[in-house]
Amino acid sequence: MSDKVYIFDTTLRDGEQSAGVGFTIEDKLEVARHLQRLNVDIIEAGFPVSSPGDLEAVSLIAREIKGPVIAGLARAAIGDIDACWQAVRHAETPRIHVFISTSDMHMAHQLRKNKEDVIEMVRATVSHAAKYTSDVEFSPMDASRSDPEFIFQVVEAAIAEGATTVNIPDTVGYAIPAEFGNLIKQVSERVSNIHKARISIHCHNDLGMAVANSLAGVLNGARQVEGTINGIGERAGNASIEEVIMAIRTRPDFMGVHTDVNTRELYGLSRLVERVSGIATQSNKAIVGKNAFRHSSGIHQDGVLKMRETYEIMNPADIGIPAGGTIVLTKVSGRHGLRSRLDDLGVSLSAEEFERVFEAFKDVADRRDEVDDRDLEAILSEQTSVHIAEQWTLDLVQVSAGDHASPTATVRLIGPDGALHSDAAIGSGPVDAIYQAINRVMGVQNELTEFSVKSVTEGIDAQGEVTIRIEADGGVYTGRAADTDILVASARAYLHALNRHLNAVTSREPAKSM
Ligand code: KIV
Ligand code: ZN
């Protein structure tokens, strides 16, 4: 049997560091449940000291998710480690992940510490973490730009103090595969106590080489790979974990290792992360992009129809991509057909949620010839908003706009008192007019910081999904909604975000402070 490569998913920690992303506790738990089904080895659930909301989310995941190790991140500081332990200690297997910068640049300009100080901090904090748990990971941040001799020393000290995983990050995505592979090889040869720890790698994608660097690390002895679903994360993101997993699975002849991942969960999880992060994957994204298994040229289509492997190096079914066309959902489809398609997509719903999705599906099916997977995703996304306690709901929105008219909107909302409240406003455009009218009714102070519309289906009757972000009272709240009318979707997305804010105020949903 080949060596196992442990898969460490950091979608909920490094992934959440993507600009503009802020997961709610519910989002985090849903992603963690799906990661559990994917059978990853380690879930890095968050950075507990960063906010009370994150500490609560990590601790909830630690209590709920059985199977994978649950890790929390901590700087090399006693307070961080104590907060991290508070959050992860309820897990079946808790891990504390301690990091500190080791490059000359970071030490001089950010930490303002010398090498001796840093080694001392590593010793003091890793040994402190090891008093709590036998599963401690240590990362020398910016390792790929650090003096390699210093990396060997720091890693040796961390292992001597109890670290059982040593993670070598390419924090700023600077490394080139051959160079990074060589660094990992040297860590395995030059650190005297390395046999007591597993070598891990954590690569960022600034030069588009995060996955290539990760694979080079594995070829040189790393046995844990860190990454995120869809490659989300700081700046250009992290290594796309689905790409690493499928490269290892597709090329065992060359890689000589395996993972224990249930790859059929990848597609559903990728869609879920798209929905909750608001970051759409590009169509040509490897493994999970819309076009990853679509063939356009006649020659390719001819080949694939004769024998799939002529132009497909992976079987889409192994990634959980639903076999297109086996069940065509239309307005005459029943619950059975819908449930079967949702099962294919890896979506499990309670009976009550399913009924709501079915009603929404019937509604869309009445307006479209066929309801495809992206329509369903939009319906499910809309369904997520139904989970949020809606203090205010939309009863009516009407807009008048045009190139010779001032955009004017009228809205009628149902308030928490069950009564109808209406108002109208003029705006700089139709969406602005709707938002001004809603503001007049609800009177909630906030700033709209992001607004995006994407078409989630094709054609003139396509569903548009609107994702927005507002800031209110120091918190950031996202709102999402889909409809064939993007002005209706815009109004609902705004209400979704405002309701999240109101829920946070009444403490049902703690705000993530940024
Ligand atoms: O990129 C990085 O160096 C990190 C560390 C905290 C592991 O995310
Ligand atoms: Zn990182």
pLDDT, tens digit (0-9, with 9 covering 90-100), for 187-237: 999 999 999 999 999 999 999 999 999 999 999 999 999 999 999 999 999
Residue to mutate (ligand 1; options 165, 171, 172; most atoms within 8 A of CB):
171
Tell the residue nearest (CA) to atom 5 of ligand 1.
141
So what's the pLDDT on residue 389? 63
Tell the residue nearest (CA) to atom 2 of ligand 1.
171
Q: Is the pLDDT of residue 341 over 80?
A: no
CA 231 – ligand 2 centroid, Å = 11
- Say yes or no: 39 and 58 in one domain: yes
Residue of 99 and 332 predicted with greater confidence: 99
Half-sphere exposure of 147 (CA within 13 A, CB side): 9
CA 207 – ligand 2 centroid, Å = 14
Is the Cα torsion angle 79, 12, 14, 130 positive or negative in sign? positive
So what's the pLDDT on residue 458? 67
- Phi, psi for residue 418 in degrees, rounded to 5: 85, -5
- Say yes or no: 412 and 451 in one domain: yes
What DSSP designation does 238 have? B
Instruction: Please report, as a single letter, which amino acid is at residue 479.
Output: G
% of residues, the chain, pLDDT over 90: 70
- Say yes or no: 321 and 420 in one domain: no
- Say yes or no: 373 and 397 in one domain: no
CA 14 – ligand 2 centroid, Å = 6
Which pLDDT band, with edges at 50, 70 and 90, does 514 fall under? Answer: very low
pLDDT tens digits, 149-178: 999 999 999 999 999 999 999 999 999 999
Residue 313 sits in which domain range?
298-383
Nearest ligand, CA 139? 1
Tell the residue nearest (CA) to atom 4 of ligand 1.
171
- CB-based contact 68:76 (threshold 8 Å): no
Which ligand 1 atom sits closest to the C-alpha of 73?
6
Which pLDDT band, with edges at 50, 70 and 90, does 510 fall under? Answer: very low
Count of domains observed in the chain: 3
In the predicted model, what is the mean pLDDT of residues 42-58?
97
So what's the pLDDT on residue 381? 73
The verdict on residue 146 lying in a domain is yes
- CB-based contact 88:94 (threshold 8 Å): yes
Which pLDDT band, with edges at 50, 70 and 90, does 73 fall under? Answer: very high
Instruction: Choose from 250-264, 303-317, 366-380 the range with maximum mean pLDDT.
Output: 250-264
Residue of 243 and 401 predicted with greater confidence: 243
Which ligand 1 atom sits closest to the C-alpha of 142?
3
The verdict on residue 282 lying in a domain is no
Instruction: For the beta carbon of residue 513, count every other beta carbon within 10 angstroms.
Output: 14
CA 442 – ligand 1 centroid, Å = 42
Contact residues for 487 (Cβ-Cβ < 8 A; gap 6+): 397, 399, 430, 431, 434
Tell the residue nearest (CA) to atom 6 of ligand 1.
99
94-101 and 136-141 strand pairing: parallel
Angle CA 359–365–367, to nearest 5: 115
DSSP track, 446-487: -EEEEEEEEESS-STTPPEEEEEEEEETTEEEEEEEEESSHH
Residue to mutate (ligand 1; options 136, 154, 168, 204; most atoms within 8 A of CB):
204
- Say yes or no: 361 and 494 in one domain: no
Which ligand 1 atom sits closest to the C-alpha of 17?
8
By mean pLDDT, which of 44-53, 294-303, 482-491 is the weakest?
294-303
The verdict on residue 388 lying in a domain is no
In the predicted model, what is the mean pLDDT of residues 241-254?
98
- CB-based contact 276:268 (threshold 8 Å): no
The verdict on residue 440 lying in a domain is yes
Nearest ligand, CA 237? 2
- CB-based contact 14:43 (threshold 8 Å): no
- Say yes or no: 318 and 230 in one domain: no
The verdict on residue 292 lying in a domain is no
Instruction: Please report, as a single letter, which amino acid is at residue 457.
Output: T
CATH label of the domain that carries residue 139? 3.20.20.70
- Say yes or no: 113 and 244 in one domain: yes
- Say yes or no: 340 and 400 in one domain: no
Which ligand 1 atom sits closest to the C-alpha of 10?
8
- Say yes or no: 260 and 155 in one domain: yes
In the predicted model, what is the mean pLDDT of residues 6-34?
95
Query: What b/e string do you get for 295-322 counting C-beta neighbours within 10 Å, with b at 16 or more?
Result: beeeeeeebbeeeeeeeeebebeebbbb
285/263 Cα distance (integer angstroms): 17
CA 26 – ligand 2 centroid, Å = 23
The verdict on residue 513 lying in a domain is no
CA 91 – ligand 2 centroid, Å = 23
CA 108 – ligand 1 centroid, Å = 18
Chain centroid to CA 133: how far?
27
- Say yes or no: 334 and 273 in one domain: no
Nearest ligand, CA 175? 1
Tell the residue nearest (CA) to atom 1 of ligand 1.
171
DSSP track, 38-50: HT-SEEEEE-GGG
State which of 383, 415, 438 marks the end of a domain.
383
CA 43 – ligand 1 centroid, Å = 15
CA 164 – ligand 2 centroid, Å = 19
So what's the pLDDT on residue 511? 38
- Say yes or no: 237 and 171 in one domain: yes
The verdict on residue 137 lying in a domain is yes
Residue to mutate (ligand 1; options 110, 202, 203, 206; most atoms within 8 A of CB):
202
The verdict on residue 290 lying in a domain is no
155/32 Cα distance (integer angstroms): 30
So what's the pLDDT on residue 426? 96
416/484 Cα distance (integer angstroms): 27
CATH label of the domain that carries residue 418? 3.30.160.270
So what's the pLDDT on residue 384? 52
Q: Is the pLDDT of residue 513 over 60?
A: no
- Say yes or no: 431 and 371 in one domain: no
CA 102 – ligand 1 centroid, Å = 12
Q: Is the pLDDT of residue 53 over 80?
A: yes
| Ligand 1 first shell, C-beta below 6 A | 14, 73, 99, 139, 141, 167, 169, 171, 202, 204
pLDDT tens digits, 455-509: 776 677 778 888 888 888 877 677 888 888 999 999 999 998 898 788 767 644 4
CA 20 – ligand 1 centroid, Å = 19
Collapsing DSSP states into helix, strand and coil, what is residue 191?
coil
Residue to mutate (ligand 1; options 99, 138, 146, 235; most atoms within 8 A of CB):
99
Instruction: Choose from 80-89, 306-315, 495-504 the range with maximum mean pLDDT.
Output: 80-89
- In the chain, what is the straight-line distance between the N-terminal and C-terminal CA atoms, in Å? 46
- CB-based contact 261:245 (threshold 8 Å): yes
In the predicted model, what is the mean pLDDT of residues 355-374?
83
CA 137 – ligand 1 centroid, Å = 12
Residue to mutate (ligand 1; options 73, 138, 165; most atoms within 8 A of CB):
73
User: Angle formed by the axes of helices 486-505 and 430-442, to 10°?
Assistant: 30
Which ligand 1 atom sits closest to the C-alpha of 169?
3
Which pLDDT band, with edges at 50, 70 and 90, does 334 fall under? Answer: confident
So what's the pLDDT on residue 298? 65
Average pLDDT across the chain, whole number: 90
- Phi, psi for residue 384 in degrees, rounded to 5: -60, -40
Residue of 350 and 486 predicted with greater confidence: 486
